[in-house]
């Protein structure tokens, strides 16, 4: 982007993490952090019951508000995003929490406000001491605390739901309620000091199609209400008070982006074939059965990754074999004969299992998670395998084990499948005994042992999210190191190439099902490495298909060879941006 010498001193450019692509230009509105100062105040003993009644009333009002917000979120964004509020509702209905607050009121003869603040901030401290993925729940606890306190004190708060003009929202952070309640008609973009790729703000912004940049550290201190702001969610850039040339360039860029997105609609029923005739398979990643429809609407040819943890994380009751079976059959029915890859449970690094553990793990991402957890919980594991084998009758379905790190784990898991098949045969229950079995390659150890594993599996699926995290020792949910999480790191690229080559040598199909498959910057190098199957989030399918249909295999081979010679992710990204811009200038204008 260009600069205007007359305004150079006034224009400021901030670099963060782009979490929702697109360009937005509008005046800023800066959200103040809502803090309640609740001093300890005692009440007469005979007033304690009145305080309890106020608490019950505030909790009821808060619950109604969340139910209403959840319903509006389902209508505007979808069931999956609205599930953010399940935790809120669960906490408000938690009898243990209510008892603690009531005991605080009665035990100290204090106000309901003081009891709510004391108990919930105690909860928040407990969560802050937990692993990163659980520590993120602190935002939800603060959200609930503020909602209860507002309803106890009668205070109103600044809302993003009823705006009268287009704005860019700048905030230190946004609570889940604020994010999900945003007025899509007037909020053009988000610039957030905190957050990472997996924050609530990022999830909702992507679902709403609002350009967003997070992890900016101090954008709220740099800008003031009314300042002209440019959000570039694709590049992760925020421009404060842009000069005239920068503004003109971005206005043109925004028009090109809209035109490009609309052009993708025409690709839905066209094949994902390169310009020189090489056919590529495009599949979708799903978490809920209802998402199959979106995969097909976006031109997907089936489901390459069906995550099944929702059956556990959405309920406090362990699902039965029939619960599993019905969910899998629903997906297979929706797919109408198209391929479906069901991943077995990736539990262990989650609230469901950690809250039930006698001693929660300090670092569950490196602990008893995924296939390790399943191999230690055989009843649960066999229940799922039985349901998958039963649902697979007459269907194009495969079973995939996550986070395999050594051949022993793979052999143990396959042995359990054989045991379940024998049980089903003895019981006379119809099932599919010859179901293809594959593994997710998402650790360096698995990648380095692919030649040996290829002799024992039917397919590989590379989970780039975890592969990058474990290869680079970077927690992708930690905003302090999020900038180090890079798919373009040469170490990651070399592991990917080696896995794909191993699959080709042994005639074992390989797919990529992590976020890397959804990034069109990496489409050419992955094609050039020999990848034939991409599986990604449904919204990304049209752009990946456009990229595939715009290149030749020879171009892709040259790009893949070139990136292997670079020594840093910055060099790789600069080269890939230039290569992609030549192929699709509308998506990456100068």
Residues with catalytic roles: 200, 513
Domains (range + CATH), the chain: 5-32+158-258 (3.50.30.10), 45-153 (1.10.274.10), 268-583 (3.20.20.60)
Inter-axis angle of helices 48-76 and 112-128, nearest 10: 50
Could you give the CA distance from residue 527 to residue 534 in angstroms, rounded to a whole number? 10
Q: Is 400 helix (H, G, I), strand (E, B) or coil?
A: strand
- pLDDT in the model for residue 377: 87
- pLDDT in the model for residue 546: 94
87 φ, ψ (degrees, to nearest 5) = -65, -40
Count helices and strands in the chain by DSSP H and E runs: 26, 16
Strand ranges (E), 380-467: 397-401, 437-441, 459-462
- pLDDT in the model for residue 492: 97
Cβ-based burial of 439 (10 A; exposed 0-12, middle 13-18, buried ≥19): buried
For residue 198, the number of C-alpha atoms closer than 13 Å in the C-beta half-sphere is 15
- pLDDT in the model for residue 502: 97
- pLDDT in the model for residue 312: 76
pLDDT mean values, one per 10 residues, the chain (590 residues):
45 85 88 58 83 91 85 67 74 86 89 86 70 62 82 65 80 73 81 76 75 86 84 88 90 82 84 96 89 90 91 74 95 95 79 48 69 90 97 96 95 97 97 97 96 97 92 75 84 97 97 90 97 91 94 97 95 94 76
- pLDDT in the model for residue 511: 98
**Token pair listed for 540:** 């990304």
**Token pair listed for 313:** 């994380």
Could you give the CA distance from residue 314 to residue 292 in angstroms, rounded to a whole number? 19
- pLDDT in the model for residue 213: 92
Nearest to 496 by CA among 423, 430, 444, 543: 444
Instruction: Judge contact between 194 and 139, C-beta under 8 A.
Output: no
- pLDDT in the model for residue 7: 44
Instruction: Judge contact between 493 and 544, C-beta under 8 A.
Output: no
CA dihedral 288, 294, 295, 299 (to 10 degrees): 180
């Amino acid at each position: 982007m260009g600069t205007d010498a007359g305004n150079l001193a006034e224009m400021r450019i901030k670099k963060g993490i782009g979490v929702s692509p697109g360009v937005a230009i509008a005046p800023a509105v800066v959200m103040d952090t809502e803090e309640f100062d609740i001093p300890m105040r005692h009440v007469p003993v005979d007033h304690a019951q009145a305080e309890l009644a106020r608490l019950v009333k505030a909790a009821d009002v808060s619950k109604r508000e969340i139910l209403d917000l959840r319903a509006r979120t389902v209508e505007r964004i979808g069931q999956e995003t609205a599930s953010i509020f399940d935790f809120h509702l669960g906490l408000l209905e938690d009898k243990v929490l209510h008892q603690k607050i009531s005991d605080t009121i009665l035990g100290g003869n204090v106000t309901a406000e003081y009891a709510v603040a004391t108990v919930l901030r105690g909860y928040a401290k407990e969560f802050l001491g937990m692993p990163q993925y659980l520590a993120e729940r602190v935002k939800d606890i603060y959200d609930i605390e503020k909602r209860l306190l507002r309803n106890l004190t009668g205070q109103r708060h600044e809302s993003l739901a009823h705006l009268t003009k287009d704005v860019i929202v700048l905030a230190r952070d946004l609570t889940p309620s604020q994010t999900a309640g945003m007025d899509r008609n007037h909020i053009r973009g988000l610039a957030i000091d905190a957050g990472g790729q997996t924050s609530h703000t990022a999830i909702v912004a992507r679902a709403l199609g609002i350009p967003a940049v997070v992890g900016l550290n101090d954008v709220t201190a740099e800008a003031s209400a009314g300042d002209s702001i440019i959000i570039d969610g694709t590049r992760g850039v925020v421009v404060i008070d842009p000069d005239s040339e920068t503004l003109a360039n971005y206005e043109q860029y925004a028009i090109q982006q809209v035109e490009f997105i609309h052009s993708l609609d025409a690709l839905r029923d066209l094949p994902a074939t390169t310009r020189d005739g090489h056919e590529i398979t495009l599949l979708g990643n799903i978490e809920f059965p209802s998402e199959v429809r979106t995969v097909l609407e976006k031109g997907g040819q089936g489901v390459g990754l069906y995550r099944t943890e929702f059956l556990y994380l959405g309920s406090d009751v362990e699902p039965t074999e029939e619960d599993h079976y019905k969910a899998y059959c629903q997906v297979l029915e929706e797919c109408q004969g198209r391929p479906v890859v069901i991943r077995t449970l990736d539990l262990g690094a989650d609230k469901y299992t950690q809250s039930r553990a006698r001693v929660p793990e300090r670092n569950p991402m490196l602990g008893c998670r995924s296939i390790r957890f399943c191999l230690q919980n055989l009843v649960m594991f066999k229940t799922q395998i039985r349901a998958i084998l039963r649902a697979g009758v007459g269907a194009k379905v495969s079973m995939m084990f996550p986070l395999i790190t050594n051949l022993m784990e793979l052999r143990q898991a396959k042995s359990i499948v054989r045991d379940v098949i024998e049980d089903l045969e003895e019981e006379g229950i119809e099932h599919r005994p010859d179901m293809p079995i594959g593994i997710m390659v998402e650790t360096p150890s698995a990648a380095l042992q692919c030649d040996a594993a290829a002799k024992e599996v039917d397919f590989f699926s590379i989970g780039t999210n975890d592969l990058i995290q474990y290869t680079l020792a970077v927690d992708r949910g930690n905003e302090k190191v999020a900038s180090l999480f890079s798919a373009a790191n040469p170490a990651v690229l070399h592991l990917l190439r080696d896995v794909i080559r191993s699959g080709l040598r042994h005639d074992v199909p390989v797919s990529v099902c992590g976020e890397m498959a959804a990034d069109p910057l990496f489409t050419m190098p992955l094609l050039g490495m020999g990848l034939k199957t991409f599986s990604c989030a449904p919204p990304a399918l049209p752009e990946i298909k456009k990229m595939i249909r715009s290149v030749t295999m020879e171009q892709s081979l040259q790009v893949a060879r070139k990136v292997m010679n670079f020594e840093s992710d910055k060099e790789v990204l600069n080269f890939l941006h230039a290569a992609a811009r030549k192929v699709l200038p509308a998506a990456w204008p100068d």
